[in-house]
């Protein structure tokens, strides 16, 4: 693991009108590391990811990219830095084939004309290095299974050679076998030296592939745990707030008062 985190968030705050969505959130991620971002519904996971991806600019705090401070105002800024985001709804075009989807928006051209041969070749190489098996790179996305679509969506994020990949609930709608395919792929991304931020509700997935778990609760950090030495229950407790924090203290006080 490198000394300087590839991406570091320092004291990030974000507010939507009267709602304080994020307060002083810290997050560090290194190359070759999978960090799971967990939290209950409304804990601010999606908001945090969207600030990194440039969808929502931050109100306070700083984002450091490889040690230097950067501004991310638009999705384009994030992409230029090397941050790729795979959203929960996959954002693939069902009517286009796999090659066209992989290169959508960044087609390889030769004298102004789409170079299908070069694109198909690179698509095959990319899918091969990730050990992604799909029936053909020339069939429409519509005829792929949910798991195959998810791996294509992830592969699509890799076309621009990013350094950080954000996966938003990549296994949410998948079956057992397909989930395994996607988790395999996440491990391969780590082997390639990418930093992966994995948002998940599924503790089993998190335990299977993540190196560290960052817990968000009510828009604040609620602990970062190394996965190997932390139990399932400890993470759940951090998510639900059943540990020593403001909420539990308050609960304790009220129970005392009640006595």
Please say whether the beta carbons of 223 and 229 come within 8 A: no
Dihedral sign (CA 124, 169, 30, 1): negative
> Under DSSP, is residue 222 helix (H, G, I), strand (E, B) or coil?
strand
* Closest CB to other proteins among residues 97, 205: 97
By CB under 8 A, which span of 41-49, 102-110, 197-205, 230-238 interacts with other proteins?
Answer: 102-110
* Closest CB to other proteins among residues 33, 97: 97
* Closest CB to other proteins among residues 121, 188: 121
* Closest CB to other proteins among residues 4, 106: 106
Question: Burial letters for 183-209: b for 16+ Cβ neighbours within 10 Å, e otherwise?
Answer: bbbbeebbeeebbbbbbbeebebbbbb
| Positions in 215-254 near other proteins (CB under 8 A) | none
DSSP 8-state assignment for residue 43: S
For the chain, give the number of residues: 259
Instruction: Tell me if 114 contacts other proteins by CB under 8 A.
Output: yes
Instruction: Tell me if 105 contacts other proteins by CB under 8 A.
Output: yes
Instruction: Tell me if 133 contacts other proteins by CB under 8 A.
Output: yes
* Closest CB to other proteins among residues 177, 256: 177
Instruction: Tell me if 176 contacts other proteins by CB under 8 A.
Output: no
Concatenate the DSSP letters of all residues of 60-94 into one string: EEEEEETTEEE---SHHHHHHHTEEEE-SS----T
By CB under 8 A, which span of 56-64, 100-108, 164-172, 226-234 interacts with other proteins?
Answer: 100-108
Instruction: Tell me if 258 contacts other proteins by CB under 8 A.
Output: no
Quick count: other Cβ atoms within 10 Å of Cβ 143?
13
Per-residue tokens: 250: 């308050």
Instruction: Tell me if 139 contacts other proteins by CB under 8 A.
Output: yes
Tell me how far the alpha carbon of residue 77 is from its chain's centroid: 17
By CB under 8 A, which span of 20-28, 145-153, 227-235, 247-255 interacts with other proteins?
Answer: 145-153
* Closest CB to other proteins among residues 128, 244: 128
Phi, psi of 46 (to 5 degrees): -65, -40
**Contacting residue, 107, 173, 224, 248, with other proteins by CB under 8 A:** 107
DSSP 8-state assignment for residue 201: S
Instruction: Tell me if 100 contacts other proteins by CB under 8 A.
Output: yes
Q: C-alpha angle with apex 30: 27 to 33, nearest 5 degrees?
A: 105
Instruction: Tell me if 94 contacts other proteins by CB under 8 A.
Output: yes
* Closest CB to other proteins among residues 181, 222: 181
Helices 116-129 and 146-158, packing angle to 10 deg: 110
By CB under 8 A, which span of 20-28, 30-38, 82-90, 185-193 interacts with other proteins?
Answer: 82-90
- Give me the residues that bind other proteins (CB under 8 A), please: 75-76, 87, 89-96, 100, 104-107, 109, 112-114, 117-118, 120-121, 124, 131, 133-136, 139-140, 142-145, 147-148, 177
């Amino acid at each position: 693991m490198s000394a300087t985190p590839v991406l570091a968030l320092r004291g990030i705050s974000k507010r939507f009108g009267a709602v304080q969505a994020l307060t002083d959130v810290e997050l560090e991620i290194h190359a070759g590391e999978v960090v799971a971002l967990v939290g209950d519904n409304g804990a601010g996971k999606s908001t945090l990811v969207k600030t990194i991806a440039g969808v929502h600019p931050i109100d306070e705090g700083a984002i450091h990219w490889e040690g230097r401070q950067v501004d991310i105002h638009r999705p384009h800024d994030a992409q230029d830095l090397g941050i790729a985001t795979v959203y929960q709804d996959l954002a693939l075009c069902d009517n286009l084939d796999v090659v066209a989807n992989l290169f959508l928006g960044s087609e390889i051209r030769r004298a102004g004309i789409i170079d299908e041969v070069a694109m198909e070749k690179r698509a095959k190489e990319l899918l091969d290095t990730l050990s992604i098996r799909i029936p053909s790179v020339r069939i429409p996305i519509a005829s792929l299974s949910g798991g195959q679509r998810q791996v294509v969506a992830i592969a699509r994020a890799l076309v621009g050679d990013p350094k950080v990949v954000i996966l938003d609930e990549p296994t949410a709608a998948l079956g057992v076998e397909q989930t395994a395919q996607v988790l395999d792929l996440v491990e391969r991304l780590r082997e390639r030296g990418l930093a992966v931020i994995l948002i998940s509700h599924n503790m089993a997935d998190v335990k299977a592939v993540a190196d560290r778990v960052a817990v968000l609760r009510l828009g604040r950090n609620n602990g970062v745990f190394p996965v190997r030495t932390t139990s399932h229950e400890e993470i759940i407790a951090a998510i639900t707030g059943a540990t020593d924090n403001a909420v539990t203290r308050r609960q304790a006080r009220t129970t005392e008062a009640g006595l």
